[in-house]
Amino acid sequence: MKSITITPLKPGSVRLEEVPAPVPAPGQTLVKLLEAGVCRTDVEIFDGLYGEPPAGQASLIMGHEALGQLENGDLVVPMVRRSCGGCANCLDGNQDMCSTGNFLERGIKGLDGMLCEYIAEYPRYLVPIRPEARPYAVLAEPMSVVAKGIRQAGLIQGRLAWAPKRALVLGAGPIGLLATMALRILGWETVTVARKPAGSLKAALAAECGALYVSSAETPVTDLPAKYGLFDLVFEATGSPDVAFDCLGAAAVNGVVCLTSVTGGDARKSVPAARLNRDLVLGNRVVFGTVNASRKDFEDGLVYLERINAAFPGLLNRLFTSRVPLEKAAGVFSGQAEEIKTVVEIAAA
């Protein structure tokens, strides 16, 4: 079968490659892949910043956002992370909270991904998709990250009487824009900040769901509190280690900062450690990281997508800024700076 394959940690080694089609193990089912999304994680793997092939292999099939179809015609979204099989969280179905680090992730760590024609998968890692969701279902994986971040923030703040009203979203890639839409659906006043100017497509998409868009070229992240006040939730999705620290000062008393970026490389930054420590302690502020998602978050994410699509018809589909066939997908990773969501079309349903 055709696949988009890379030699991990070797920058730019991606290629279209013929590989054997998977043979389902006992208990697995064959999934025909229809579409796959490209995200910043894929670009960083392309750049050689991380990535790990399956044991005994030198190459890794890329891709961890996908929509597939079972042999009976049902649509499914495969989950990304696989249980380590040993820790209490994985055994409880929360492999996104793995304690050992021995998990596998499709297209990222130790398990081939989904920029290919078929995968073999266990049903517990396949989330059913309603036919009506077919036009936007490839967004289920990034939306699951958003759903988990919002859910985890609420769980953490169950320690107090928390009535959040204002959110700051940093980044207007797929996760940032999906977070903006989800928070608006929840009725939060939302400010979305990204590098693009106010007249850009990203600004328009944020504004169309009722958010205020701010260009960081005009208002740096560190200046946001003075201009727009403090926020009950800061949802960071920029991919920038600088922003991950610069945004901490935007959280209100009893506020939460949710970091979703997985940053590769070895970037360093000087921070005002004393002030940050003082503000976090005296303000009962929380900073937490969230990665990947559990089955519940995929399911919650699909509900968010359904609600967004109902409230803002056509808005989700405007996130898809380019579509390419699988045969040409090896060429998309170096041109993602101007894209929101590139979709690789693998097969027709």
CATH of the domain at 204: 3.40.50.720
For residues 48 and 100, membership in a common domain is answered with: yes
Strand-pairing partners, residue 48, are none
What is the pTM (predicted TM-score) of this model? 0.95
Instruction: Band the pLDDT of 264: cuts 50, 70, 90.
Output: low
The three-point CA angle 31-260-205 to 5° equals: 80
- Pairing label, strands 104-106, 81-82: antiparallel
For residue 301, being part of any structural domain is answered with: no
For residue 156, being part of any structural domain is answered with: no
As given in the structure block, the two tokens for residue 240 are: 């920038």
CA distance 300 to 141: 11
Mean per-residue pLDDT for 243-264?
90
Of 283, 305, 336, the one marking the end of a domain is: 283
The owner of tokens 């077919």 is 134
Q: Give residues with Cβ within 8 angstroms of 124, minimum separation 6.
A: 295
For residues 214 and 341, membership in a common domain is answered with: no
Residue 332: what pLDDT?
96
- Pairing label, strands 75-78, 60-61: unpaired
Residue 234: what pLDDT?
98
CA distance 137 to 142: 10
Of 283, 307, 336, the one marking the end of a domain is: 283
* Mean pLDDT computed over every residue of the chain: 95
CATH of the domain at 40: 3.90.180.10
Residue 265: what pLDDT?
67
Mean per-residue pLDDT for 264-290?
84
Counting every residue written for the chain, the total comes to 349
For residues 336 and 247, membership in a common domain is answered with: no
Label each residue of 240-302 as H, E or C: CHHHHHHHHHHEEEEEEEEECCCCCCCCCCCCCHHHHHHHHHHCCCEEEECCCCCHHHHHHHH
Q: Domain of residue 129: give its range.
A: 2-139+317-345
Write out pLDDT tens, residues 176-215: 999 999 999 999 999 999 999 999 999 999 999 999 999 9
For residue 147, being part of any structural domain is answered with: no
Instruction: Band the pLDDT of 294: cuts 50, 70, 90.
Output: very high
The one-character DSSP state at 138 is: G
Distances (CA, A) of 92 to 99, 168, 212, 295: 12, 32, 40, 11
For residues 324 and 279, membership in a common domain is answered with: no
